[in-house]
Amino acid sequence: MYAIDTNILVYAHNLSSPLYQKARSFLKSILLEINGTEKTIIGIPLQVCAEFVNVCTRQNVGTPLSIPEAIGILRLYIEVLEIPVIYPKPTQLQTFLTLLETTTTRKKVFDVALAATLKDNNVAGLYTVNVDDFKDFPFLQVENPLA
């Protein structure tokens, strides 16, 4: 399974983003691939859901969404399309602290938290535009599907 990072969702739902079409096409192709299969190939981490609402509702985003619109988008993915949510496990704090010990900057704290959730859930990879932010986690296959 691969997780989807916040930036992919934000670009796919921000009409002003130069990556809007690429992100939207990528998500559509993944959703079509899922349709008719029993295999779960993507999930959305809980942290990404929170970050998505935070980022896409900011006034500096270009075409910000309202909070109800952002909630509607998340409900579409989770309830209608049945994309699983990847929740933190009770072991996440220890995994987070262990991974954080290899980090030298506070700027990576949220990336480390996301990586800990993925590691604890045995998620193989992450789709993100920010590939370099996750290069220090050898347990993750990180791909930029918009490159």
Distance, in Å, from the CA atom of 6 to the CA atom of 34, rounded to the nearest integer, reads 20
Q: List Cβ neighbours of 122 (8 Å cut-off, separation of 6 or more).
A: none
pLDDT in tens, 32-53: 776 555 556 899 999 999 999 9
Q: Are residues 13 and 45 in the same domain?
A: yes
Q: Are residues 38 and 97 in the same domain?
A: no
pLDDT in tens, 114-124: 999 999 999 99
Where among 53, 70, 86 does a domain terminate?
A: 86
Q: Are residues 10 and 80 in the same domain?
A: yes
- Label residues 115-144 b or e (16+ Cβ within 10 Å = b): bbbbbbbebebbbbbeeebbeebeebebeb
Number of domains in the chain: 2
Q: Are residues 106 and 130 in the same domain?
A: yes
pLDDT in tens, 130-144: 999 999 999 999 999
